[in-house]
Structure 1
Amino acid sequence: MRKLSVNQSIITIAYILFLWLPAVAQQPVAYRASAPKLHDLVHTALEVRLDYAKQFLYGKAAITLQPHAYPMDSLQLDAKGMEIREVALLAAGKHTPLQYSYDSLQLHIKLNKTYQPGEKYQVYIAYTSRPNLFKSEGSAAISSAKGLYFINPDSANAGKPVQVWTQGETEANSVWFPTIDKPNQKTTTQISITAPAKYVTLSNGYLTAQHNNGDGTRTDTWKMDQPYAPYLVMMAVGNFYVHKEKWKGKEVSYYVEPVQAPYVKQLFGNTPEMMSFYSSLLGVDYPWNKYVQVVVRDFVSGAMENTTATVHGDFTYQNNRQLLDENIWEGNIAHELFHHWFGDYVTTESWANLTVNESFANYSETLWSEYKHGADGGDYTNYNAAQIYLTYSPEDEHKHLVRFDYDHAEDLMDRVTYQKGGRILHMLRNYLGKEVFNKGMHLYLTQNAYKTGEAQQVRLAMEEASGKDLNWFFDQWYYGSGHPYLDMQYAWDEASKTQTVYIQQTQTGKTFTLPFAIDIYVNGKKERHDVWMKTKADTFRFVLAAKPQLVNVDGDKILLAKKTDHKSLQEYVYQYFHAPLFLDRLEAIQQAAGAQQDGDARNMLVAACKDKFFRLRTAAMDSLNMQLPEVRSAALPVLLAIARNDSSTLAQAAALNAIGRTKDSAYLSLFREKINSRSYSVQAAALNGIAAIDMPMALQYAGQLEKDSKDLLSWAIAGIYGRSGDTSKLAFFSKQLDGMFINRKSRMIAGYLLLLSQTSNADLFKTHFDNALTHIRDYKQYKAQGRFVPLLQMVHDKKEAAHLPAQSAQAATAVKEMSN
């Protein structure tokens, strides 16, 4: 897990859940075969009644099956942690008891006869689901695997809604209904939910009936006529506001808490456009009868693509002021929708092949960004994902994309399956061309509709679309591990007018086969040379009319590789102004940032502050060294204009932050003006600017802004309070953390601990330190509590230095707990 500087990093918060995932050294494990298909699920009919007091579900399941390939006289169902009350054959309305045994995980049923392949039969099971009694192990990606979740069922937590929801992936739905809980099964469903009549229910498919039972409950029946995998079955119950739209006559709805109703359209409003875009791109219209998105409390993952009914965690919520800066969840909304083709319409045949679900869904974020926000937007999203894989997970270099040797299925939900897999698809699209790649996706979907697929079927579809052999590509990227490390050097020979490019793969182990472009700029014009690298070291020579201003290796910026490029600073400056891509310009900004005493680099950075893409404007402004007089004089006129007039509030905030680094009181009036902005990011930057000049004034403004503060603004206030030493501000931290979603807590906790390190009051310290630990423990479900160890160690060291042994001991205990 990695801490992000939200809106101040080239990587955004949309990826925070994956940055939380720790890289774990892989131990040798057994081969994981695909689940054998002895029986096929055909239809699952459930009647479920919720018991909020016990947190039980009382269920009746009528499951229609048929032997897959061989005659069968027995059946094995997954049914985890249940109480089984009855097992019977259901025929002509009659229940004929069947012999069975149950080991708390699987239900073994002796059928009444031997059934032939294709011969349908129906078993009936009455059961009680007891999710809180089932001992399940979660993972870094999905923090719990008990399937069914009762949230605040006794209303003990005032202000927190009462909800029930489910989470099935990978194989947790069999905690709340018996099934063959494998991804290579498909079933239609009918689910009748009996719940308090005051609540809204949601499940897969369409609502066919509602019946008031006269006892304060209502039974809603949901029916799904198209087959889908058991792990995609869902249920949610709660007090939801429902906003409804239409797409080609199909329901498109958003279920949120009533207090969030004013923001729901702005939050989810791009969904119909996404449905149109993906339908056109894939040549397959959205294939299901509705699309609903529901936001629930305390969700155990980021979001889940249950067929027709995606679940999002409550960190999705943003108000209109947050959305003024950006919708940080837009990529995830796109991701889960795209799963309704790659994952739901065609489902991975085995968890080993999870890439056919998740790599495509991850890449869909790039495709959407490219369509909606232009080429720079798409490249920005793609770069973020590449950096998450390349920068944060060195152990992942040893993992294959398709893995049959995993320990737990959830282990596959990592940076390799998601971020690396998505970038592999990006390289494949570049190699094949966009139209051919899209045709390959279309073929894969239509050839395997409502069935399952694996990576080899993706290869075959792409080969059919392109006419090219792709075994080399899939062997290298899907069934191999790692990525290239490229060292690039250049030499110009004036006598022969020859430009030589030396490229070496410096990684240990295998050699990668790499097709890419080398763009050479001569006399202001670009020449493209398409090349292949097939050995550890290659030399490419080009006879040119004159010495080039720039040699740009990997001209499309497509390779998933770590690069050491020995271009000169002047070449990078030329690259910024002449090479067109987002990454061309970002590379130049990053190089110039370290050479701001050079006039060309400095001028380029100032020019980059006005880049057409606001992300690059912010990157340039964030890199300015405002302590250098030459930088200040060149940049300030540009920064002042951006701070007042830029169309992006994030760019305005970056300009204010850069101006604030001067600590010049001449700009105090500007900060006081911008403190009234509607944008939290602008307010945060203005507040930090005031704090750098006049801390008492900043404390006064912080007190005024406390009530309506979120994200960057609340973090800015936390930073000011943390440095203030004013222990009366501890209540601010406690209140903020109690109402804050987990992915926004870390900076608040940091300020909390900083302020606590400055108090000698034993009772005050104990109360608030215990409270801080409660919030740190929330990160344990993501195995991310270790990020707070340095802060806890700082508290310990300060208490020890101040000769406060009781407080020091409490901090030491916390360090030990969070280090495990």
Structure 2
Amino acid sequence: MRYKYSLLVLLVCFISKTSFADSYPRNYAIDILHYRFEISVSDNNNEIFGKASIRIQFKKSNIKQFRLDLINQTELRKGKGMLVQSISSNNQTLNYTHVGDSLMIQLAKPSTVDTVVTFEIQYKGIPEEGLRIIANKFGDRTFFSENWPNKTRHWLPSIDHPYDKATSEFIVKAPSKYQVVSNGLLLEESVLGNNTKLTHWKQSVPVSCWLFVLGVAEFAVQQVDQFNGKAIQTWVYPQDREAGFADFAQPTKQVLSFYSEYVGPFAYEKLANVQSTVSGGGMETSSAIYYAEKLITGKKEVRLRNVVIHEIAHQWFGNAVTESTWDDAWLSEGLTTFFTLLFIENAYGHDEYIAGIKSAKKAVYDYIKKDSLFSIVSNRSAETGVVTSGLTYQKGAWITHMLRDKIGEVNFRNGIQAYYKKYFNANASTLDFIAEMEKASNQDLKPFFQQWLYKPDNLKLSWSWDYDATSKQILIHVQQHQSSGFVFDVPIEFEIRKEGIAEGQLVKQQLNTKTADFKIPSATKPAFVSLDPRTVLLYDLVN
């Protein structure tokens, strides 16, 4: 269908406006290339001592100062937060202010374009959030980062927003009884004496800082396998050694293989599945994924299996390709939820895929009973409120499911691969995703995404059918019931099954009015007519 130029202009303007509503103070004049964090923790108290060495490229000349996120130590936080002790560069002490959770650093002299400078920040404090220092389910002391969406600033000076990506390393001093897990590859593990162990991890792949991971606990560690020369590891509490090793034996390698073939190469140096005190089911931190401790049972439960698939899928969507702004969080959670189901279809069959899609549909319409105004892409910022809901996951997955059906499997896969290749280890927006899908399919997809992503409305239908023996026609009546009055423009399918014939006839119509009547020729009255037999339309049936 062709659309008038004026409509396309309105769509592009509307989409462009909403794509940059995230209010974080992005600074494209600087690019953080690398973070090096030296962190000391102890069992005596919850205070951490940190030294951050941050390598920054200045993209413009005459920059005199720049800003980082770091939570202040305040009375309101009951003394929790970080206290900066000194900042230097090239052995020269620098001036700074640390107010309102913003660390403003003055340069010794104005920048010149493309120069790279390393800044060293000495600080200490008790994290209010971000690094959780709590007992695990066995009562043992643990330290686990939980940075999403913007809690990195509670314990690490950083640009705490997904738009900036950098490589990283953690050099951690901790009591000798602990093992330390982090992003990337293990470079050193040494006992220093005085009951202190030094552990050094380095990740040479850039990620947004909420994907930095640090776990300090007593672990049982298993080298499970390798994938393309990269280690697959399991890290669980010693008390859960047998159960955890059994639970994580599968399906990590199969999942890595599937996404590498379907989407593109796995970005990171290893894949570790880590039992932790993380809230929720799991956290997709790059190369070392956290799982809620309660999920480890030794029973190889489907719930844990699906969380493993989901969090590994995030290594592609959200991690390697990261949303540019919080407005576009569905590019992480929606795509990942769909690709979780896609692996399930590949590994366990189409029926399990359809069961998952139907479950997602139920979740969508259950959720909108509580919040009918949530649209997938909208004005959101982690600085001011939540950036995702259940709809981001479930409706986002359904939109991707419908997209695949709309443009076909070959075009969809080509589009996904092109999108991943173009934005690999970088950032992308919803507009970027749409553009790659339009190129792959040679279709104008803006109207599709406009009604499903940018509108809070959700399709509600009633329908009925009858047979007119005189005209020999099946008469189908369909009505849309969105309370806002918005009318969807969607393909709608019916299966017509005749008496004594096992295979039904699939009929597709276009529904683009509030009410519609379709007349389908039929020599005889069908045994029955069903709506959406392939489960490819997101709708709720109302009386």
State TM-score, norm by structure 2: 0.90
* 2:180 aligned to which of 191, 201, 205: 201
Distance change (3 Å), C-alpha of 1:500 and 1:69: farther
Structure 2 partner of 1:280: 261
Counterpart check, 1:160 vs 2:139: yes
Structure 2 partner of 1:118: 114
CA distance in 1, matches of 2:35, 2:296: 33
Pick the structure with greater CA Rg. Answer: 1
Name the SS for the 1:115 alignment partner: coil
Gaps of 5+ in 2: 1-19, 72-80
Structure 2 partner of 1:147: 130
CA distance in 1, matches of 2:385, 2:395: 17
Q: Which residue type is aligned with residue 22 of structure 2?
A: R
CA distance in 2, matches of 1:288, 1:563: 44
Deviations along 1:491-514, one digit per CA (max 9) or x if unpaired, are 100112100111110112210111
Structure 2 partner of 1:215: 194
Counterpart check, 1:485 vs 2:460: yes
CA contact (8 A) 1:42 1:188 kept: yes
Using the TM superposition, give the Cα deviation of residue 33 of structure 1 relative to its aligned residue in structure 2, in angstroms.
Answer: 3.6
Structure 1 partner of 2:423: 448
Counterpart check, 1:356 vs 2:309: no
* 1:175 aligned to which of 142, 147, 154: 154
Q: Say which structure, 1 or 2, has more relative contact order (CA 8 Å, 6+ apart).
A: 2
Distance change (3 Å), C-alpha of 1:392 and 1:405: closer
Deviations along 1:218-267, one digit per CA (max 9) or x if unpaired, are 11111111111111111001111112121121101111112222223432
Using the TM superposition, give the Cα deviation of residue 285 of structure 1 relative to its aligned residue in structure 2, in angstroms.
Answer: 2.1
CA distance in 2, matches of 1:41, 1:260: 39
Q: Which residue type is aligned with residue 257 of structure 2?
A: S
Counterpart check, 1:51 vs 2:42: yes
Using the TM superposition, give the Cα deviation of residue 210 of structure 1 relative to its aligned residue in structure 2, in angstroms.
Answer: 1.9
CA contact (8 A) 2:23 2:383 kept: no
Distance change (3 Å), C-alpha of 1:483 and 1:441: same
CA contact (8 A) 1:365 1:381 kept: no
Aligned pair count reads 509
Structure 1 partner of 2:492: 516
**Structure number having the greater helix percentage:** 1
Structure 1 partner of 2:169: 190
Using the TM superposition, give the Cα deviation of residue 421 of structure 1 relative to its aligned residue in structure 2, in angstroms.
Answer: 1.0
Distance change (3 Å), C-alpha of 1:70 and 1:458: farther
Using the TM superposition, give the Cα deviation of residue 179 of structure 1 relative to its aligned residue in structure 2, in angstroms.
Answer: 0.9
**Superposition pairs of residues 341-490 of structure 1, within 5 angstroms:** 341-405=316-380, 411-490=386-465
CA contact (8 A) 2:326 2:382 kept: no
CA distance in 1, matches of 2:251, 2:518: 46
CA distance in 2, matches of 1:158, 1:457: 43
CA distance in 2, matches of 1:110, 1:407: 27
Distance change (3 Å), C-alpha of 1:34 and 1:301: same
Using the TM superposition, give the Cα deviation of residue 373 of structure 1 relative to its aligned residue in structure 2, in angstroms.
Answer: 1.7
**Superposition pairs of residues 768-807 of structure 1, within 5 angstroms:** none
**Superposition pairs of residues 299-318 of structure 1, within 5 angstroms:** 299-318=278-297
- What percent of counterpart residues are identical? 26
**Superposition pairs of residues 706-745 of structure 1, within 5 angstroms:** none
* 1:328 aligned to which of 284, 287, 303: 303
State TM-score, norm by structure 1: 0.60
Distance change (3 Å), C-alpha of 1:158 and 1:410: closer
Using the TM superposition, give the Cα deviation of residue 531 of structure 1 relative to its aligned residue in structure 2, in angstroms.
Answer: 1.6
CA contact (8 A) 1:396 1:416 kept: no
Deviations along 1:551-605, one digit per CA (max 9) or x if unpaired, are 122121121111147xxxxxxxxxxxxxxxxxxxxxxxxxxxxxxxxxxxxxxxx
CA contact (8 A) 1:170 1:409 kept: no
Using the TM superposition, give the Cα deviation of residue 31 of structure 1 relative to its aligned residue in structure 2, in angstroms.
Answer: 4.9
CA distance in 1, matches of 2:396, 2:384: 17
* 1:257 aligned to which of 231, 237, 244: 237
Distance change (3 Å), C-alpha of 1:204 and 1:405: closer
CA distance in 2, matches of 1:129, 1:455: 38
Structure 2 partner of 1:575: none
Structure 1 partner of 2:203: 224
CA distance in 2, matches of 1:203, 1:159: 22
Counterpart check, 1:526 vs 2:504: yes
CA distance in 1, matches of 2:387, 2:97: 32
Structure 1 partner of 2:126: 130
CA distance in 1, matches of 2:479, 2:106: 63
Using the TM superposition, give the Cα deviation of residue 205 of structure 1 relative to its aligned residue in structure 2, in angstroms.
Answer: 0.3
Structure 1 partner of 2:538: 560
CA contact (8 A) 2:61 2:110 kept: no
CA RMSD of aligned residues (A): 1.8
Q: Which residue type is aligned with residue 147 of structure 1?
A: G
Distance change (3 Å), C-alpha of 1:492 and 1:315: same
Deviations along 1:59-78, one digit per CA (max 9) or x if unpaired, are 11110112245641101111
CA contact (8 A) 2:43 2:175 kept: no
Counterpart check, 1:32 vs 2:13: no
Using the TM superposition, give the Cα deviation of residue 462 of structure 1 relative to its aligned residue in structure 2, in angstroms.
Answer: 0.7
Structure 2 partner of 1:66: 57
Segments of 4+ moved more than 3 angstroms: 30-35, 68-71, 405-410
CA contact (8 A) 1:362 1:419 kept: yes
Farther off after superposition, 528-537 or 201-210: 528-537
Q: Which residue type is aligned with residue 278 of structure 1?
A: Y
CA contact (8 A) 1:331 1:365 kept: yes
**Structure number having the greater strand percentage:** 2
CA contact (8 A) 2:23 2:381 kept: no
